[in-house]
Structure 1
Amino acid sequence: MQILNDHGLLIGVESDLKPVTETTRASLAFKTVLNTKLSLSHLDKSPRYIAKQLLMLDNQLAEHDLDTEMLSKYTQDLITQISLTRPRKDLRDLEKTSLARLELAQLVNEFRDLKREEAIIDFADQMRFALKLVRLHPDVVTQLRDQYKAVLLDEYQDTSVIQRLLLTEIFGQAHPVMAVGDPLQAIYGWRGASVSNIDNFCTHFPQQDQSPAKKYPLTSNFRSGQKILNHANQVSKDLRDIHDAISSLVAGKGTNSEVNIGLNLTWNDEVESIAEQIKDLVNNKKVAPESIAVLSRNGKELLPIYDLLIKKGIPATFAGKRDMVDVPEVSETLSYLRLMDDPTHNPSLVRILAGPRFEIDPKDLALLAKRAADLVKDHNWDKSKRSFEQSLLQSVDGSDVAELAVLADALNDPGNYDYGVGVKERFLKLKNELESLRRHITEPLSDIVYRIINQTGLMIEILASNQMMAESRYEALMSLQDLAQSFDQGSPHGVVREFLAWLDEADELESTIEFAPTAIKNAVSLMTIHGAKGLEFPIVFIPAVCESVFPHNKTSTWVKRPELIPFELRVDYKSLPQGFKTETKEFDLYLESCKDYAELEERRLMYVALTRAETEIYVSSHWWGNTQKKVRGPSKYLLQLKEVVEQGHGKITTWVENLEENNPTLDQLVPTLWPAQTNQIAREKRIEFAHLVKNVEEVDESQLSLSEKEILENIDKDIDSLITELTSDKLIKKTVAIPDTLNVTKTIALMRNPDDFAMQLVRPMPTKPIDQARRGTQFHYWIEKHFGMPALLDSLDLPGAADEKLISDDQLEDMKNAFLNSEWANKKPVALEWPFDISIGGRSLRGRIDAVFETENGIELIDWKTGVVGKSDDLQLAWYRFAWWKMTNMPLEKITAAFVYVPSMEISRPIDLLSPEILLESISG
């Protein structure tokens, strides 16, 4: 915020405070919870959940210009009041919530202290500091008023309380201010916006004589036809009764419009109806697909509609944000991450094995499970003969049978069971993949994600898939990598396990991890109503307008959530439910009024959805969802629209009355084979093509026919054109920021060839895995086994990963023998696989040193090399020396570094490694 940059020092706020991302902010909150000395006896959630509550309360306090002392005093008084009231369960629950709020308030103080210590600032801080600044320094206000002679505030209904306080403090007192907004479209209360701002604008910004500012109603709608507006007016009637300044809308132009409503028996029927109606519009009525939008209350309703549209050949795209984990390639990547961290995570292993890459069928999965159970029996524990005490002890010490039946054991040693053709080979392939990936678990998280994506071929699969879906899935994977990089930056010591815990917490809290795919042109748009605000489409579909879905019936207030501040303390309290008391009758009435208040925002959401349409709208509902045992039926919104239709303003496409006592969808469920079988014909063709590629033969061009030669010539021309385009000087130069987190390999690439480094950042390209790299990985593992000491941050290897089976080829055996006959075999290392994470010029540099040995003069850092002698880059050793120097404070002259080439055992000790000053200078920028 510019005002703090320019004047923050007046209140002790440094101008160089670093704004933080939400990921970093969440990490700091989590750190606060972990390090607190408070007992937190009333906050009975997980640390991550408490961190989420802490962030919400910090926001709430900042939004309403409150300090923790005011909140704590009110809360303590309320607890006293409860103690004087006749005991009831609802009051005991309120007391528990209040006690938790007191603890959260103390955590907020610690969180804010930590932000000051770390010299960082978040958006909540910016707003409260800015408000404090303008209140204490009128000269700053004068300067801002002189700078901005007039102020126009657009979408004013979406401003927060503290934003309004800041604006009135600066631009009140009859400064020229105009606000434009619609209280009926105030749909962001859940993230801090207050509709009271626009309702009270005229008194918040009075004229020179202190009389209210002038108000100009805008009742003409130049988007939608009158028939659509009649329905919007019907839904918004209760809202207009509250916001008396708003009148019914009238069409500003004579656009013809139509409204269609429908009620189906099941959700599947509704999805089919929507897809067929869209198909008819596109194929028969020649409506352009991009003219159609499907807007839903919740994102989860969109996926089945999208899938069915694609099956019917209708181009469709997710516009706005989408849940990242819904994308199959993201789920696959996360499954690999879980297995890297925890080899015992059976669900992830099953997901990968049953997926399209390995296609292990149920019979072979069952055999693998049987093998895992048989391996457990080797421990000779008979469950039926164990006492309770024995079972408990075995659970605690990790020897319980249930913990030992791990599919990874069977994957490592599948035994001689009746597996299908080629199944054991696929088991071995996955086993080797996981072993290779696990060797890199201490790398930066974003590097690990990138490695998984490329090593497993997921990126290639996407690029070869349906063009309509490829771009969205590609962007989902790139968003996952960006998320991992943000997590790296926000949690400098963050590891795979912490990242997975964060994702699990988000899932537990029903907080989706979203990404925004690029919308495909010439396609039907699918998005949430929140995402559609401000947009317009000729034709709009609004599905699932059902009871408990739209409006939803979840009401949560400060009475039950300690992270929310009581309404009476909020600046906009006059617009909120009134009359809170602890007596039974008043308490129940208050909760009911809170429920009614929450419904108003749902009604605003319906109004926004209706007014996105220009010429035609389809609103539909159903009686039965796919899994519900309780009937849904049309919500009051759809029934209100039906009243308007029956007055001649629209038509009913279908209206099925429910005659079922039980959910017919549940009755229709039939057993299906899992995992789902792939298209056998397509699979055979893929195998055939793969065989052709793998066994391609060189052909004498003189033996080709004229038509075959012509085909090859055209392909060559296309390749030449692409090469020319890519190497052309006309290509636009793009500035690429150096990432905040680097590993040693990337740092060397940056120093040696900045252009290639930048290109790799913009468009990462996979590298071909080679046997040499595989041997190197296996040799490093064998070194650890030889010295009998694990790496400081060792990975969790699969059971049996250290078996000799892992090390199979002759060259690898030569390496081992050469090492055993060398001087190094009898030395005792100070550390193996020593990880480091250091700050360099505001960036984080991470890496891992293979081995550290003591010398007569100090320390020697060793990097084992299994490649060609002399092909290693001395910069690697320079950075290793820099890292050891910085983390141990050992004088540089006492630190040497060397490459040891195996199997020749030749040693390369560069004597002119770059100094720390030169290294730092080389990566600045």
Structure 2
Amino acid sequence: MSNIKYTPEELSLALGEKFPPTGQQAEIIAAPLEPMLVIAGAGSGKTKTMADKVVWLVANQLVRPEQILGVTFTRKAAGELSVRIRAKIAQLVATGLLSEEETRDFLDPAVSTYHSYANTLVQDHGLRLGLEEDSALLGAAQSWQLGHTVLEKYTGDYHHLNSATSTLIDAIVSFSSEASEHLVTAPEAHQWIDDLVLRLRALPMDAEKDKAPTQVALKLIDKLASRATIAELAEEYTREKKKLGVMDYGDLVAHAARIAQEVPAAALAERASHKVVLLDEFQDTSHAQMVLFSQLYGKGHPVTAVGDPNQSIYGFRGASAGQLFRFPETFPIVRGEEHQIAHVKHLTIAWRNTVNVLSAANQITAGGSPHTGPVTVKPLEPSAFAQPGRVILNRCATVRQEAEAIADQIISESRKAVDEPKTSAVLSRNRSQLSIMGEVLAERGIAYQLVGLSGLLSTPEVTDLVACLHVLVDPLRSDKLMRLLSGARWRIGTADLAAFADWSRQLERRRAKGLRSAEVSNEATGAQENVEESARAELNDAASLIEALDFLPAEGWQSAAGRSLSAEGRLRLTALKEELASLRLIANDDLETLIREVERAMNLDIEVAVRPWVDQASSRANLDAFADIVRDYSRNAPRVELAGFLLWLEQAAEKEKGLPLPSEDADPLAVQLLTVHASKGLEWDIVAVMSLNDGVFPGAKSDRWTSGDKALPWELRGDAKDLPQWDTDQPALKELLEAESILKTKLRTTT
């Protein structure tokens, strides 16, 4: 590139920037227009570097702004990158480095999310593959609803499906989505699993004693049979989507990848429109996304991918950090007939961390899996301006104690602030822990915000409302009743709770004794089998606190342990019993009406209005947001009933992290409560991370695909070579395949 007018340093000076680019940044900014992978550690200034690269390309008239494509994962990240690039280009135009004629027709660069880009490609070229333009895109909750419908209609062999309904629905949707993300159809996956099961079941059970399949291996065969049924249900789920003219996010990316592979005109048009491509967060791309962009731009096109394997957060969606390590070979540099691996650069200076925090982070990430090949991951370095900082380790017996210790620490650090208040945040992998943290902060009069796009179901008022709904229809949800009994409204004390539990156990023993008597009296009539079935069904409900509430003991009752209900405790329990009884009368009526009546009966509107840390105007925000959720569910669900809605809510709590919270402006004086996932890219003066416990954070090691119900077999995944192989991670299956090999050897020897 001999026609370069400005170096990155000269351009930075001309734009009046306070901090010129570092040597690492300048090398990336001025890199040749060839494929390049940038390993950018947390807080290393990747967004600024990408924006500076765009401005450098435009200033040196190598490309026009509208010829640049930037792709990232979230709308927030895309918005931030777009704003930075537009601001930089406006600054460039204002300097006069380019003539008015050269800048007159400038258009904005194209910046979008990965899914938005795939959607645009499908809209523009989908008809070539028979895809309808008006196909609706399903959200996670809508996908789950459709999966529920598919499971309810299933009439095949289901005796070996032992998981809960919600688990099976999740498995159907997840299996289908993962298959799409790896460009495998559900029928192909179904056939592969069926063939494997047939092979394994054909093994003789009377083989050599030391080679006979163990019980673990036999259970694995049954588990694989269950997975085959999940694959069959996923096939039906796919057919239902096609019938309804809808698709999910997995379908969207798979369709876009097919277009890139099968429609040459699409690739030609995209390369002509986008002379330079920037792919952000590349460690979180799936196999289908890798295929999509490699087919469009993989033949030497100037693609810069930015990522960090230590920040991979979308493994649940079929992503694999192994994608990043394969970039240099998948996007080679093409010079005539010669192909060579892409450039690999690093950003290692962390700008938003103190020295001690960075040291602790490097020690933790150093324990990750080693990587070989052209891509290496280097430790982060503190900037020249980094302060020493402090890392404090708390050891606490309970989550509550940990929350109290964190609150005390935030108060202590805030009091030390002289010039201006310190910003603070508490991060957790678990939303329920953030709820406890919020309660502790509220008790101390500290303002806080639950930040992010989810968490509505974990807010106290919605949690209480949903708990009451469970109690209305499910006598086994004693845990939900306990939430009400010990909550702020009823405040049943410890002594009364203990006596109430005694009464529940007494009812259980009384029923068990009555059932045993019924067995004896009916034995002569030949009805023993029916009695046993009835007994088992009723004993399941025997210890229900909800039933104990419906049949409170007479006054003067005393348990064998000498405990009894106080007069005030009995009064409150009776009032709650009557309230629930009246609500059950309308439990099968219109769902929206029921929600309003439950809210009114529980006085939730009054409770949120009197909170001292919330202004009157926004006090009902969470309740109103929940009412909107109920309205949308009622409008879209194939059948509207309370039990189905609660099942859907439990899935939403897992798949959508608790449903969206109503948006609000960030308050810099409030403690921000958010998940580790949502905190990516943000910074505060004081940061606490809850529950750094083994199995929580860091989480448990990834399960083998043969465990659970929903994973696509690893051999079918596009990134199979980046995953553990049979001999190291699948001992039971290895054992069975070895037995098969021995059998084949014997047959050859015999013949």
Shorter-chain TM-score category? 0.5 to 0.7
1:577 corresponds, among 698, 714, 724, to 724
Q: Which residue of 1 aligns with 2:230?
A: 104
Aligned CA distance change for structure 1 residues 436 and 549 (closer, same or farther; 3 Å) = closer
Aligned CA distance change for structure 1 residues 504 and 392 (closer, same or farther; 3 Å) = farther
Q: Which residue of 1 aligns with 2:341?
A: 212
Task: State the distance in 2 between where 1:404 and 1:532 align.
Answer: 45
Report the alpha carbon displacement of residue 362 of structure 1 after superposing the two structures with TM.
7.5
Aligned CA distance change for structure 1 residues 134 and 257 (closer, same or farther; 3 Å) = same
Q: Does the Cα contact within 8 Å between 1:153 and 1:179 map onto a contact in 2?
A: yes
1:247 corresponds, among 378, 381, 390, to 378
2:139 corresponds, among 11, 18, 21, to 21
Report the alpha carbon displacement of residue 433 of structure 1 after superposing the two structures with TM.
7.4
Q: Which residue of 2 aligns with 1:837?
A: none
Structure 1 residue 513 corresponds to structure 2 residue 650: no
Task: State the distance in 1 between where 2:308 and 2:224 align.
Answer: 35
Q: Which residue of 2 aligns with 1:559?
A: 706
Q: Which residue of 2 aligns with 1:53?
A: 171
Q: Amino acid of the residue matched to residue 596 of structure 2?
A: Y
Q: Amino acid of the residue matched to residue 158 of structure 1?
A: D
Q: Which string of whole-angstrom CA distances, capped at 9 and with x for unpartnered residues, describes residues 336-388 of structure 1?
A: 42354468977766754665445566888899999999999999x95674335
Q: Does the Cα contact within 8 Å between 1:333 and 1:452 map onto a contact in 2?
A: yes
Aligned CA distance change for structure 1 residues 198 and 366 (closer, same or farther; 3 Å) = closer
Aligned CA distance change for structure 1 residues 195 and 408 (closer, same or farther; 3 Å) = closer
Q: Which residue of 1 aligns with 2:298?
A: 172
Q: Which residue of 2 aligns with 1:764?
A: none
Q: Does the Cα contact within 8 Å between 2:457 and 2:463 map onto a contact in 1?
A: yes
Task: State the distance in 1 between where 2:544 and 2:165 align.
Answer: 29
1:442 corresponds, among 572, 586, 589, to 589
Q: Amino acid of the residue matched to residue 25 of structure 1?
A: S
Q: Does the Cα contact within 8 Å between 1:446 and 1:482 map onto a contact in 2?
A: no
Task: State the distance in 1 between where 2:696 and 2:540 align.
Answer: 40
Aligned CA distance change for structure 1 residues 249 and 463 (closer, same or farther; 3 Å) = same
Q: Amino acid of the residue matched to residue 631 of structure 2?
A: Q
Aligned CA distance change for structure 1 residues 7 and 549 (closer, same or farther; 3 Å) = closer
Q: Does the Cα contact within 8 Å between 2:428 and 2:691 map onto a contact in 1?
A: yes
Q: Which residue of 2 aligns with 1:643?
A: none
Structure 1 residue 317 corresponds to structure 2 residue 462: no
Q: Does the Cα contact within 8 Å between 2:178 and 2:317 map onto a contact in 1?
A: no
Q: Does the Cα contact within 8 Å between 2:217 and 2:732 map onto a contact in 1?
A: no
Q: Which residue of 1 aligns with 2:633?
A: 487
Q: Amino acid of the residue matched to residue 582 of structure 2?
A: E
Report the alpha carbon displacement of residue 54 of structure 1 after superposing the two structures with TM.
1.0
Q: Which residue of 1 aligns with 2:258?
A: 132
Task: State the distance in 2 between where 1:74 and 1:404 align.
Answer: 45
Q: Does the Cα contact within 8 Å between 1:240 and 1:246 map onto a contact in 2?
A: no
Q: Does the Cα contact within 8 Å between 1:335 and 1:352 map onto a contact in 2?
A: yes
Task: State the distance in 2 between where 1:75 and 1:106 align.
Answer: 10
Q: Amino acid of the residue matched to residue 611 of structure 2?
A: S
Q: Amino acid of the residue matched to residue 167 of structure 1?
A: F
Report the alpha carbon displacement of residue 5 of structure 1 after superposing the two structures with TM.
2.3
Q: Does the Cα contact within 8 Å between 2:587 and 2:642 map onto a contact in 1?
A: no
Q: Which residue of 1 aligns with 2:280?
A: 154
Mean alpha-carbon deviation: is it higher for 115-124 or for 400-409? 400-409
Task: State the distance in 1 between where 2:680 and 2:347 align.
Answer: 18
Instruction: Map residues 318-397 of structure 1 onto 2, 5 A cutoff.
Output: 318-320=450-452, 323-341=455-473, 352=484, 355-358=487-490, 385-388=517-520, 390=522, 393=530
Q: Amino acid of the residue matched to residue 34 of structure 1?
A: E
Instruction: Map residues 279-290 of structure 1 onto 2, 5 A cutoff.
Output: 279-286=411-418
Report the alpha carbon displacement of residue 162 of structure 1 after superposing the two structures with TM.
0.8
Aligned CA distance change for structure 1 residues 173 and 472 (closer, same or farther; 3 Å) = farther
Aligned CA distance change for structure 1 residues 580 and 407 (closer, same or farther; 3 Å) = closer
Q: Amino acid of the residue matched to residue 551 of structure 1?
A: P
Q: Does the Cα contact within 8 Å between 1:23 and 1:487 map onto a contact in 2?
A: no
Q: Which string of whole-angstrom CA distances, capped at 9 and with x for unpartnered residues, describes residues 254-291 of structure 1?
A: 22122324353634665554333222111134486652
Task: State the distance in 2 between where 1:413 and 1:86 align.
Answer: 56
Aligned CA distance change for structure 1 residues 472 and 87 (closer, same or farther; 3 Å) = farther
1:228 corresponds, among 357, 369, 383, to 357
Q: Which residue of 1 aligns with 2:151?
A: 33
Structure 1 residue 260 corresponds to structure 2 residue 260: no
Task: State the distance in 2 between where 1:403 and 1:229 align.
Answer: 53
Which consecutive residues of structure 1, in runs of 5 or more, have no partner in the other structure?
A: 591-925
Q: Which residue of 1 aligns with 2:642?
A: 496
Q: Amino acid of the residue matched to residue 253 of structure 2?
A: M
Give the secondary-structure state (helix, strand or coil) at the position aligned to 1:129: helix
Report the alpha carbon displacement of residue 462 of structure 1 after superposing the two structures with TM.
0.2
Q: Does the Cα contact within 8 Å between 2:485 and 2:491 map onto a contact in 1?
A: yes
Q: Amino acid of the residue matched to residue 586 of structure 2?
A: R
Q: Amino acid of the residue matched to residue 386 of structure 2?
A: T
Task: State the distance in 2 between where 1:235 and 1:343 align.
Answer: 46
State TM-score, norm by structure 1: 0.55
Aligned CA distance change for structure 1 residues 453 and 287 (closer, same or farther; 3 Å) = farther
Report the alpha carbon displacement of residue 301 of structure 1 after superposing the two structures with TM.
4.0
Q: Which string of whole-angstrom CA distances, capped at 9 and with x for unpartnered residues, describes residues 187-245 of structure 1?
A: 32223222122222222222333322223222222222344333333333344842643
Q: Does the Cα contact within 8 Å between 2:410 and 2:686 map onto a contact in 1?
A: no
Report the alpha carbon displacement of residue 68 of structure 1 after superposing the two structures with TM.
3.3
Aligned CA-pair RMSD: 4.3
Task: State the distance in 2 between where 1:400 and 1:526 align.
Answer: 43
Report the alpha carbon displacement of residue 55 of structure 1 after superposing the two structures with TM.
0.9
Taking only the aligned residue pairs, the percentage that are identical comes to 25
Aligned CA distance change for structure 1 residues 74 and 473 (closer, same or farther; 3 Å) = farther
State TM-score, norm by structure 2: 0.67
Q: Which residue of 2 aligns with 1:10?
A: 128
How many residue pairs get matched?
586
Q: Amino acid of the residue matched to residue 682 of structure 2?
A: L
Structure 1 residue 278 corresponds to structure 2 residue 390: no
Report the alpha carbon displacement of residue 65 of structure 1 after superposing the two structures with TM.
0.8
Task: State the distance in 2 between where 1:579 and 1:436 align.
Answer: 55
Task: State the distance in 1 between where 2:502 and 2:377 align.
Answer: 69
Report the alpha carbon displacement of residue 468 of structure 1 after superposing the two structures with TM.
4.9
Q: Does the Cα contact within 8 Å between 1:330 and 1:480 map onto a contact in 2?
A: yes
Q: Amino acid of the residue matched to residue 381 of structure 2?
A: V
Give the secondary-structure state (helix, strand or coil) at the position aligned to 1:545: coil
1:75 corresponds, among 154, 170, 193, to 193
Q: Amino acid of the residue matched to residue 294 of structure 1?
A: V
Task: State the distance in 2 between where 1:264 and 1:538 align.
Answer: 22
Q: Does the Cα contact within 8 Å between 1:339 and 1:434 map onto a contact in 2?
A: no
Q: Return the index of the structure with the highest Cα Rg.
A: 1
Give the secondary-structure state (helix, strand or coil) at the position aligned to 2:307: coil
Which consecutive residues of structure 2, in runs of 5 or more, have no partner in the other structure?
A: 1-118, 204-210, 523-527, 557-565, 738-751
Q: Does the Cα contact within 8 Å between 1:25 and 1:490 map onto a contact in 2?
A: no
Q: Does the Cα contact within 8 Å between 2:182 and 2:318 map onto a contact in 1?
A: no
Task: State the distance in 2 between where 1:278 and 1:264 align.
Answer: 16
Task: State the distance in 1 between where 2:540 and 2:331 align.
Answer: 68
Quick one: higher RCO (CA 8 Å, sep 6+), 1 or 2?
2
Aligned CA distance change for structure 1 residues 512 and 144 (closer, same or farther; 3 Å) = closer
Q: Which residue of 2 aligns with 1:185?
A: 311
Give the secondary-structure state (helix, strand or coil) at the position aligned to 2:395: strand
Q: Which string of whole-angstrom CA distances, capped at 9 and with x for unpartnered residues, describes residues 454-499 of structure 1?
A: 4542112101113259899744433433332343234131210111
Report the alpha carbon displacement of residue 177 of structure 1 after superposing the two structures with TM.
1.9
Q: Which residue of 1 aligns with 2:242?
A: 116
Q: Which string of whole-angstrom CA distances, capped at 9 and with x for unpartnered residues, describes residues 657-677 of structure 1?
A: xxxxxxxxxxxxxxxxxxxxx
